[in-house]
Amino acid sequence: HPDKNKDPGAEDKFIQISKAYEILSNEEKRANFDRYGDAGESQGYSQHQHRQYHHFHEGFYFDESFFHFPFNSERRDTSDEKYLLHFAHYINEIVPDSFKKPYLIKITSDWCFSCIHIEPVWKEVAQELEALGVGIGVVHAGYERRLAHHLGAHSTPSLLGLINGKITFFHNAVIRENLRQFVENLLPGNLVEKVRSSKRVLQAKSPQALGRKCYLLSHVNMRWCSHPAQLTAFAYRDFLSFGYVYVGLRGTEELSSQYNINVYTPTMMVFKENIDKPADVVQARDMKKQLIDDFLSQNKFLMVSRLTNQRLFQELCPVKKSHRQRKHCVVLLTGEGNKFAEAYEAFLTFAVANTKDTLKFVHIYNDRQPEFADALLMDEEKYRGKSAVVILERRNNAGKIAYKTLEEAWQGSKEDNFILLDLLDQLRTDPGLLSSETVLADLNDELAPV
């Protein structure tokens, strides 16, 4: 204040600060300033004259140390820049990605004292959650008004969570613990179950009970089992069911002994069709996110996955990109129930013994995918009520495939195994073996909500 500070520039600085405060405290003036760089006090000015004052705020000299805040947007912390969202990016990429991981989004603006106030906590939490696999986004309401309006943010700062395309606003004190709990509460509550004994629980997680998923059992420490485990389970929920056990606790000795677990080292085991023996195991004193993601990505499919929708078909049986990248799918077309169990078990045994990078073994239920089955079996009488095996290669994304159907129904006999093995051996040198072609319609989505 010039009355208390005899500095020659005190009066000018006081006027500048007073004018800035007046703009900030008046919504209309602030809106004009955002739009034109001027508070709009000179009503007779044309829009052209407003533009002459576009850098109005740069004309003011603010000693930032006076408030300890960086007012000029060009001088503010740039750590948010890599998280900035735009409307099209949000709609086309962030919303679909929210079905794989939750997002924490901040809506901010210039000349926002509260935005600056929460910045240290936001920066710390954003870095921490991003390292765990949470998506982070920042929306600048001044430049992305359409997106801010779409999100329902009518003031700044606002914080919200996004998961499965659904928005939830944060209404609590902005502290680290509250934000972590907010993100954790976004996740479904039944993603990871606590396992106490091997027999009852693992039998319940057999492929027949799971239908289409592998089962991941984690012997881990207390710290990993809270936030990171929930996030990981959400990301892979379409492929894996998750359980964990605190080894060393009373009642877990049987499980530790059965799988020869080192109780001092965090361990992950993935079970596929054979629930008595893990298909893969990883042990590490420090279960870093990258290690976990790599392990799960390599083990997210059963040895003989069931095709339940088009997306799964495309992922397991990709279109060939070149002659060297040819991949073939060996498909068991079968039915449900004990009548078909023997044929399925024989096919599974064959798949385990002959799995290669260039081959994927899958199966479908004819009754659930009738168009797929009819296109490949031509409704021939000899396959009716029986299982059949088809070798196919997808040629394009429009549904065109080349294929060969084994001449006789699949019963899993030694002769059936020999014939299939011989065909696969010929296929390595003679792609023309797949002499039939057709166009498949998209598979029914068996997992779609009714």
Same domain, 151 and 107: yes
Q: Which helix (H) or strand (E) holds 353?
A: helix 341-354
Look up the domain containing 210 and give its range. Answer: 192-298
CATH at 242: 3.40.30.10
| Number of structural domains found in the chain | 4
Q: 330, 333, 337, 317: which is closest to 373 by C-alpha?
A: 333
Structure tokens given for 164: 């499965």
- pLDDT given at position 168: 97
Residues 365, 414 within the same domain: yes
SS3 letters across 66-89: HHCCCCCHHHCCHHHHHHECCHHH
Whether residue 311 contacts residue 397, with contact meaning beta carbons closer than 8 Å, is answered with no
Within this chain, do residues 120 and 201 fall inside the same structural domain, yes or no?
Answer: no
Please indicate, yes or no, whether residues 289 and 310 belong to a single structural domain of this protein: no
Do residues 331 and 267 both lie within one domain?
A: no
User: What confidence score (pLDDT) does residue 36 get?
Assistant: 52
**Residues 80, 182: one domain?**
yes
Interatomic CA distance for residues 287 and 295, integer angstroms = 11
**Cβ atoms of 397 and 326 closer than 8 Å:** no
pLDDT for residue 117: 93
Whether residue 2 is contained in a domain is answered as no
- The phi and psi torsions of 274 (rounded to 5 degrees) equal -90, 100
| Pairing state between β 214-219 and 280-283 | unpaired
Instruction: Return the pLDDT at 327.
Output: 85
Both 341 and 384 in one domain: the answer is yes
Name the stretches of the chain with pLDDT < 70.
1-78, 196-212, 219-227, 247-252, 322-325, 450
Say if residue 356 is in the same domain as residue 409.
yes
Per the CB < 8 A criterion, the answer to whether 335 and 367 are in contact is yes
Both 316 and 389 in one domain: the answer is yes
- Among 33, 67, 101, the domain-final residue is 67
Question: Taking the model in full, what pTM does it have?
Answer: 0.69
Tell me if 1 is assigned to some domain.
Answer: no
In terms of domains, do 62 and 118 share one?
no
